């Protein structure tokens, strides 16, 4: 791992692949969380260079040890876009994230030079609030997206998501008997680690055949 200092905070760089992936964290976990590190390691073992970063509120959480909720998503959008400009990456770019990070990626992709976006566990609605949907921008989006979702995700399970009628350019991949964090229920056929490995394989195939990234 290489640490890059930017005016927006430190960035962790993994791998030397031809395709750049800027990967954002979930609402309650930073870039050093085991989930984030596992995804970065798995992606960088393919033909991806992975960049992990933290939004400002998460940097403050890490510095103070005090938990705090994320700010309005519009602020996170601006931070993500500013980081992309700061990195000024050349070559194919894909943006994505875990939960909140994936949602923000989906909201800025049209304003970036990214080929597409992905989410590992998209937060379709807050927990126990299925009527508060976060899909309006997805229905009018243009660039390809990929959502890898636990079939028993409390923020958007299989039956709920199928009813949203997402556009065809958003690919859905399901992890049976997995929750929002890809933790398995008793009936699951594989572990969280195996779920992450499978997710990376799905992203690799999506980048090759949907985004037409060469070198995969």
pLDDT-derived band at 143, boundaries 50, 70, 90: very high
Asked if pLDDT for residue 215 goes beyond 90, the answer is: no
Tens-place pLDDT, residues 91-108: 999 999 999 999 999 999
Tens-place pLDDT, residues 159-192: 999 999 999 999 999 999 999 999 999 999 999 9
CA distance 35 to 97: 11
Asked if pLDDT for residue 150 goes beyond 80, the answer is: yes
pLDDT-derived band at 22, boundaries 50, 70, 90: very high
What six digits make up the tokens of 202?
């799905």
Asked if pLDDT for residue 214 goes beyond 80, the answer is: no
Would you say 46 and 204 are in contact if contact means Cβ atoms under 8 Å apart?
A: yes
What six digits make up the tokens of 133?
């949907």
Tens-place pLDDT, residues 39-79: 999 999 999 999 999 999 999 999 999 999 999 999 999 99
Determine the CATH number of domain 2-209.
3.40.50.1820
| Helix/strand/coil (H/E/C) assignment for every residue in the chain | CEEEEECCEEEEEECCCCEEEEEECCCCCCCCCHHHHHHHHHHHCCCEEEEECCCHHHHHHHHHCCCCCCCCHHHHHHHHHHHHHHHCCCCCEEEEEECHHHHHHHHHHHHCCCCEEEEECCCCCCCCCCCCCCCHHHHCCCCCEEEEEECCCCCCCHHHHHCCCCCCCEEEEEECCECCCCCECCCCCCCHHHHHHHHHHHHHHHHHHCCCCCCC
Residue among 23, 66, 69, 68 at smallest CA distance from 42: 23
């Amino acid at each position: 791992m290489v640490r890059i200092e930017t005016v927006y905070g430190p960035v962790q760089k993994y791998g030397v692949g031809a395709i750049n992936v800027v990967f954002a964290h979930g609402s309650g976990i930073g870039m050093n969380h085991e989930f984030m590190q596992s995804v970065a390691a798995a992606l960088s073992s393919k033909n991806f260079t992975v960049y992990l970063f933290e939004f400002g509120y998460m940097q403050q959480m890490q510095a103070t040890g005090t938990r705090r909720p994320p700010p309005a998503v519009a602020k996170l959008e601006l931070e993500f876009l500013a980081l992309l400009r700061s990195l000024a990456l050349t070559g194919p770019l894909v943006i994505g994230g875990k939960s909140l990070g994936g949602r923000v990626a989906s909201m800025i992709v049209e304003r970036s030079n990214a080929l597409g976006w992905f989410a590992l566990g998209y937060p379709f609605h807050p927990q126990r609030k299925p009527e508060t949907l976060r899909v309006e921008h997805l229905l009018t989006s243009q660039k390809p997206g990929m959502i890898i979702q636990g079939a028993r995700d409390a923020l958007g399970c299989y039956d709920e998501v199928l009813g949203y009628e997402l556009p065809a350019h958003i690919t859905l991949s399901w992890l049976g008997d997995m929750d929002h964090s890809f933790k398995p229920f008793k009936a699951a056929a594989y572990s969280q680690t195996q779920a992450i490995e499978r997710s990376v394989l799905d992203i690799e195939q999506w980048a090759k055949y949907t985004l037409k990234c060469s070198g995969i």
